[in-house]
Amino acid sequence: MMPIPTPTKNLARLMSTIASHKVIDNTIDTPGRRSPLVTGNQTYGSLTHMVSRISEEAQPLAWWITFLLAVPTLGMFGGLIVYLFLTGVGVWGNMSPVFWAWPIVNFVFWVGIGHAGTLISAILFLFRQNWRTGINRAAEAMTIFAVVCAGTFPGIHVGRAWLAFWLTPYPSLNLWMWPQFRSPLLWDVFAVGTYASVSLVFWYMGMIPDLATFRDRSTNKFRRMVYGILSLGWSGSSRHWMRYEKAYSLLAALATPLVLSVHTVVSFDFAVSQLPGWHTTIFPPYFVAGAIFSGFGMVVTLLVPVRALYKLKDVITLRHLDNMNKIILATGSLVGLAYATEFFMAWYSQNPYEVFTFWNRAFGPYWWAYWIMVSCNVISPQLFWFKFFRTNTIAMWIVSIFVNIGMWFERFVITVTSLSRDFLPSSWGYFTPTWVDIGMLVGSFGLFFTLFSLFCRYLPIVAMAEVKGVMSQHAHAEHRHAHSHGHAHSHGHVGGH
Amino acid sequence: MSANKTYWRSLNDLHETAEFEQIASREFPQAASEFPEGVSRRKWLKLMSSSLALGGFAGCRYGPDQIAAFVVRPPNDVAGVPKHYATNFELADRAVHLLISNMDGRPIKVEGNAQHPIMRASEPNELGEAGDRSRFASGGTDVYSQACVLGLYDDDRAQRVAKRVDGVLTESTWDDFAAYAKTQFEAFKANGGESLAILMSPSLSPAVNRWVAETVKTLPKVSVAQYSSVDKSAQVKACAQAAGKPAELVYKLDAAQVICAFDSDLLGDDCNAVLYSRQFSKGRVPEPSKMNRLYSVESKFSVTGAAADSRLPVRPSQIGAVIRELEAKVDDLLKGGQPVPPVDGEKPFDQIDSAEKVARFLSAMAEDLVKHKGACVVAVGAYQPLDVQLAGLRLNQKLENFGKSVMLMPSRSAVEGVEPIELTELVAKLDSGAVKSLWILGGNPVYTAPGDVALGDTLKKVEDSVYLAEFEDETASVCSWSLPLAHQLESWGDVLAVDGTYGISQPQILPLLGGRSRIEILSMLHGGEAGQAVSEKLIREVADAVAGKPLTSRQWRELLHSGFLMGLKFEPLAGPFNVEGSAPVGSIDLDSIEQGSIELMVTVGDTLYDGRFAKNVWLQELPQTMTKICWDNAAVVSPKTADMLSLKQGEQARLVHGGATVDLPVFIMPGQANGTVAVQMGYGRICRDEAVSSNAEVVIGKDVSPLRSFSAMHLIRDVEVKPLPRPYKLATTQDHFAIDELGLETTKIRAKNLVREGTLEQIEEGGSEFVDHLGTHHPALESLWKEPIETLESDKTVTYQWGMTVDLNKCTGCNACVVACQAENNVPVVGKEQVTRGRELHWLRVDRYFRGDVDTPKIVNQPVACVHCETAPCEQVCPVAATVHTEEGINAMAYNRCIGTRYCANNCPYKVRRFNYFNYQTEYGYFYGWQQKGEIEKASRKLQQLVLNPEVTVRGRGVMEKCTYCIQRIQNGKIQSRIEGRVIEDGEVQTACQAACPSQAIVFGNLNDPNSRVSKIQKSERAYEMLAELNIKARTFYLARVRNTHARLKTSDQLEPAHHGHDAHSDTHEESGEAHVDHS
């Protein structure tokens, strides 16, 4: 590819600046006219530039602050894991009867967050929701990193972590045995493993055209070499695009059931047991709704600052945020319905253990956790009935933080309160975390934000190729025809022309 | 070390001196340099002891002549096959009769000697209906005996002969001491022993008493002082007055229909508790006219109180008044008065005011006592004053119990020709300089002495003081000679059983740490020799004397084999006895709580006794029977008292009496008498802290001696109790009482279902319908698929299907099973910090629930271990198949396969699974305990590990564990029966808990055999499965508890009609095959 001629570059920059001054409210739907998904009179070139420059220019101060906070936190996480291995899982606060506590809460929390990305890229893709294009790359990255965080916990949670590989069904001549296939924990290994690998492939594959753009824009050899390797020789030929789209559709179709299955299986960890408060059939849909809820919450938490920081408001528009907030409202209410249903079922079943467990959740020693959960997950998203909150970035950011907190507490409530008081009152207990518990939760955020900062720094935050396919007809009248088919990758927008 | 300052003052001072460091570093230059400056005393001790500890391993041998490798195997020695030796010794002021399992030369487990005459005499009547009764025989033990093997391998035990040189205890030798003893003896002989005093606790050992008598004969002017940390002098005096000579009171509870215990913990801290529990359980057959009735009037909730059919909490000072009133009522009835008949519509016992409660209680007791004249027991606790003791004896005499259910036996501890002096007298003699040499035979009197006896200060001034004890303890630190006492498992000795049977103690192992026995020291006092051969000879002489003729070597071997001399017993003293005394004074008021006149009751520690077991970590971690506290003592108060005095659970209380102040954590316990505080003694001593954070020593609990005085050792009146709002975390294995309303309410409802209980009348009326009635309403229990495991319903191709029953009617909650399980199955101790985190590892626990009103509650106990569900929830969720079902129905753990996901424990409804959060059994701590891996630490650990049972896997960190039904014992039984070409007979395999249970509440056996005891019991009307509604088909069944409560003392829950709500549902039941229903 040719290096970009300077005038074009300047023009693009100029146009993106102009665009930022022109306010287009794309959150309003006008009959007969689609609201633009990219605002600010962007051209393909200006868009490419807008996204690519992020990894080409020096990072803003906020990035450095985030990164320099995240890396030591990650270091602490690593240190704590070493400490844990050398000392024993007793460094955590979990105990009898709460044999699973924060590590498992963190696991489910992170797995839940890992839902939004693939949901956005796969399910919304299949449902032809074009607005997904602006956010799917970042959301998918978030998914991968959340799953990395999630995957860390079960691995280090087992008492003899060095033997965790026994969970995998490998043919062993010495042992001559398989894992126990009746155990949900084993299903979990498969579910999360499959989800992580498919999501990773999906994310990476979707990134190839954009990586090629990065490669083409590279001004030094090293970058060109690295992005060259990563883009796997993408040339933007029609044949490439054809195969790419076929593969993308197939992967989307493959990933879609996984979105539903992974948290369903995670919920089986609880539902298949016979512990009151865990043993409920509502868990699979409830967990999936909660996961989507928390995933979108985290996407909003991440993208509101990202779009401001990297001036991506024209691609990640208010309409995108508005849509996500609607999903948060819907799933938040679903989660609320699930909470209510649990209570109803406990009452309706007249199972004394069940009844007690739910009363105990709301009014027992952990009442505070329950009510934090309800306020954050059910009450705070109700603000999104109002358009003001859906479109005000500060307000939605605060709500999204609440959602994150609430969803962590939801897992805490399910895991810890149910375990702390089960059948025999003689064995009841009260769990208190240790500093290692707290350190590891914080540390997992260190891992997450380290990965996410590196992602922002080195990889295309926005799926440029896909966004170009849905760019406003107004700006690209010549693409109208193709656009009416829903998406238009076949233009071969490679490079910065 | 600051906290330990007073205790180890001299040693503290010591290790700061240059000489000491020099000594240590000269001896162990390498190891010494490993420690940084300012090391703890413990590290120094270890430093000095390392060679001894390592040398001790040579002691684990068969005998001096067999040290060579077993090229030729000694006869009858098969490596890995345990041998059992009978032995008897004194332990915690009681005689214990034991069988020791000796594995390759080291004693590792203790069982009761079922063949001992007192065990044979109290065998439960329903044992072994067919065949050999002895198959089922088990002696039962108490917690102290079970834990004594751990004490043997304690590296904290005194490991050197130490002599005070320039105020510092310095290592010396036995030869040195022998020379010293010889010169001393010459001096004593010169003055007739005037300058010598011997301080000892009353001993049950004829050999010791004989030597003391011998000393008095040789040195007529010697002073012999007897001091016991547990003051029973009032009872001793009363018995002596009654019999006209030293005597002791022994009950025969199996001959009693009615037992009235007044502040007397017959089944708990009584020295004969094992015997009494056996006798008591014989009378717990829930059939009219067979079942006994136990009344308990007491201040502290004791084991006896929990086992009682009716209990009345009364403060200690009012017990006398209760007995006086009772005597009046009994007198009246004996003269032909009529008992108060139950009135229809009378309010239940829990709904009346306290004055009426007392009145009803007294009239019911009086009625029952008179009705069962000659077959009842009035037992008065040893701490009660003389007038109350005499009143108790008087009642027994009036009720014609003597010789039938109550006996006065000749005293075992009286020494012929010796008039022992009191401790105070001894201190006076020492202070005045009349006595210059004091020989102390154990007992740690400096620590146990009450606050007003300054024995420690006096001893410091005494020039020649010899102290023989297992530990270099408080007393050792002020004596001029500290001699290591051999453990009873290491030494020759003897003891008299409660019935006068002579039993001997034989060493199971050569002294590990070079200790010697009391007899050897007394022999040395006479300038004699010491050593194993000498003490064997000395004991044999005593045995000859007791037998009345020299024993032939065959008879001697027989004595060694059985442990006792058959046929030599005491005859009970014949009455009538002189039981006259003034009537106890005072009035009864159950509700008064007045600051400043609070009564403090200092009892022996449930687990530590008087503190002598403070270094035994099994006992430290054993939950106290009623409070479930471990690693601490607390000020136990009733909820009302706590309210009145503004005491709060989780905070402390300041106890002030006679200028002494002790701060204790508060524990609120319903059922404690109002206006009283109960506290256990034996705490405030240094113990190893097994907590993860360090292996340092800490002071465990608080020493309450300052509050005690020589005249009031146990019952201390007019104590001021102030709240001390300073938080304190008590380690309890069961939730504190102070939980939220919701939890409390639910516990109440659930406890009814979990621990089912009815009255004798309910059994009479409707069989045991109440047992099923108390269960939960649930749909038909059906499995959705065929279980892939062997169940009782499946084809019986397997010979054995193991199962267990626990009779809650017999279980007293004495904890012996818990320690027995710990000893048998290598269950590690986790330390206080870990217990507060709920990580205790006991495979078997005793759950305790309250029932009834807060003022006069009842307690129910329930031992819970793995119930070995046929459709075990734990097995289904383990991802690596580490917990699986054996074809014999045991839910087995494959420790090697376990990776520690802990899912099984989450899914266990009984929460009996235990997890090794750390490497509790070996070094653990930060970074896997790397900082502790010094050579000495390793040596100490190795010494401690000698107690481990080689037949049970030692679990490492990260592994789940739980009860296995003692699978190693089953396996041994199978091997033995296979060799003999037969099947295991019923009763042949006993689990450790079953063997240790003094009341024989636990039965284990083969459910496939319809004639086995366990099969029959599981079919009994009272049998029920805990949490049966989960359809997990437990193999352990419980037998519902039955209380034989007097009609007028029944509480509202006991009066609830059994048929409540049943009729309305009966149709549906039959149709759907549901289990019984109850909505209560």
Q: What is the pLDDT of residues A315-335, one digit of tens each?
A: 888 888 998 999 999 999 999
The pLDDT of residue B622 is above 60: yes
Cβ atoms < 10 Å from Cβ of B38: 9
> Taking CB atoms and an 8 Å limit, are A96 and B905 in contact across chains?
yes
Q: Which residue of B has its CA nearest to A175?
A: B897
The pLDDT of residue B705 is above 60: yes
Cβ contacts (< 8 Å) between A273 and chain B: which residues? 873, 877, 903, 906-907
Cβ contacts (< 8 Å) between B743 and chain A: which residues? 360, 364-365, 421, 425, 428
Cβ contacts (< 8 Å) between B735 and chain A: which residues? 425-426, 428-429
Residue A445: what are its φ and ψ, rounded to 5°? -70, -35
Q: Which residue of A has its CA nearest to B877?
A: A183
Q: Which residue of B has its CA nearest to A153?
A: B901
Whole-number pLDDT of residue B135: 61
Instruction: Please state, rounded to an integer, the average pLDDT across all residues of chain B.
Output: 84
The continuous run of DSSP H or E covering B10 comes out as: helix B9-16
> Taking CB atoms and an 8 Å limit, are A423 and B845 in contact across chains?
no
Q: Which two tokens stand for residue A319?
A: 């309409």
> Taking CB atoms and an 8 Å limit, are A158 and B901 in contact across chains?
yes
The percent of residues above 90 in pLDDT, for chain B, comes to 50
pLDDT in tens, B777-832: 777 888 777 776 666 766 667 789 999 999 999 999 999 999 999 999 999 888 88
The pLDDT of residue B1069 is above 90: no
> Taking CB atoms and an 8 Å limit, are A97 and B838 in contact across chains?
yes
> Taking CB atoms and an 8 Å limit, are A179 and B873 in contact across chains?
no
The percent of residues above 70 in pLDDT, for chain B, comes to 86
pLDDT in tens, B273-325: 999 999 999 888 888 788 999 999 999 999 999 999 999 999 999 999 999 99
CB nearest B743 (choices: A179, A275, A364): A364
A479: nearest Cα among A38, A89, A181: A38
Cβ atoms < 10 Å from Cβ of B987: 23
- Average confidence (pLDDT) over B384-399: 94
Q: Which residue of A has its CA nearest to B848?
A: A426
Cβ atoms < 10 Å from Cβ of A232: 12
Q: Does residue A367 belong to the interface with chain B, where contact is any CB pair within 8 Å? A: no
Q: Which residue reads 């000694």 in tokens?
A: B74
pLDDT in tens, B462-475: 888 999 999 888 88
What is the rounded (10 degree) CA torsion for B1050, B1053, B1059, B1064?
150
> Taking CB atoms and an 8 Å limit, are A424 and B692 in contact across chains?
no
Question: B1072 falls in which pLDDT band (50, 70, 90)?
Answer: very low
Cβ contacts (< 8 Å) between A180 and chain B: which residues? 878-881
Q: Which two tokens stand for residue B157?
A: 């035990």
Cβ contacts (< 8 Å) between B779 and chain A: which residues? none
Q: Does residue A160 belong to the interface with chain B, where contact is any CB pair within 8 Å? A: yes
The pLDDT of residue B7 is above 80: no
Q: Does residue A61 belong to the interface with chain B, where contact is any CB pair within 8 Å? A: no
> Taking CB atoms and an 8 Å limit, are B900 and A159 in contact across chains?
yes
Least confident of A343-347, B850-854, B909-913: B850-854
Classify residue B415 as exposed, middle or buried by CB count within 10 Å of its CB (0-12, 13-18, 19+): buried
> Taking CB atoms and an 8 Å limit, are A189 and B879 in contact across chains?
yes
Q: What is the pTM of this model?
A: 0.88
CB nearest B776 (choices: A158, A352, A421): A352
> Taking CB atoms and an 8 Å limit, are B926 and A426 in contact across chains?
no
pLDDT in tens, B112-149: 998 899 888 888 766 544 445 556 677 889 999 999 99
- The 3-state secondary structure of B551-593 reads CCHHHHHHHHHHCECCCCCCCCCCCCCCCCCCCCCCCCCCCCC
pLDDT in tens, B349-374: 888 888 999 999 999 999 999 999 99
Whole-number pLDDT of residue B532: 83
Q: Which two tokens stand for residue B620?
A: 């430290």
Residue B103 CA from chain centroid, whole number = 24
**Angle between helical axes of A283-309 and A238-271 (0-180°, round to 10):** 130
CB nearest B1027 (choices: A167, A273, A423): A423
Whole-number pLDDT of residue B923: 57
> Taking CB atoms and an 8 Å limit, are B925 and A87 in contact across chains?
yes
Cβ contacts (< 8 Å) between B903 and chain A: which residues? 99-100, 183, 185, 269, 273
Distance (Å) from the alpha carbon of B777 to chain A's nearest alpha carbon: 8
Q: Does residue A300 belong to the interface with chain B, where contact is any CB pair within 8 Å? A: no
Instruction: Tell me which amino acid residue A491 is.
Output: H
Whole-number pLDDT of residue A20: 47
> Taking CB atoms and an 8 Å limit, are A360 and B743 in contact across chains?
yes
DSSP class of residue A408 equals H
Cβ contacts (< 8 Å) between A185 and chain B: which residues? 877, 879, 901, 903
| Predicted ipTM > 0.90 | no
Spatial distance between the Cα atoms of B905 and A421, rounded to a whole number of angstroms: 13
The pLDDT of residue B50 is above 90: no
Residue B496: what are its φ and ψ, rounded to 5°? -100, 130
Whole-number pLDDT of residue B64: 44
Residues of chain A scoring pLDDT < 50? 1-5, 14, 17-22, 473-497
Cβ contacts (< 8 Å) between A189 and chain B: which residues? 879
Cβ contacts (< 8 Å) between B777 and chain A: which residues? 350
Least confident of A1-5, B839-843, B928-932: A1-5
- Residues pairing with B686 in the sheet: B699
Classify residue B73 as exposed, middle or buried by CB count within 10 Å of its CB (0-12, 13-18, 19+): exposed
Asked if residues B519 and B492 have their Cβ atoms less than 8 Å apart, the reply is yes
SS3 assignment, position B378? strand
Cβ contacts (< 8 Å) between B958 and chain A: which residues? 88-89, 158-161
> Taking CB atoms and an 8 Å limit, are A352 and B749 in contact across chains?
yes
Residues 6+ apart with CB under 8 A from B550: B544
Angle of CA points B385, B389, B391, to nearest 5°: 120
pLDDT in tens, A63-107: 999 999 999 999 999 999 999 998 889 899 999 899 999 999 999
pLDDT in tens, A178-223: 888 999 999 999 999 999 999 999 999 999 999 999 999 988 899 9
> Taking CB atoms and an 8 Å limit, are B881 and A100 in contact across chains?
no
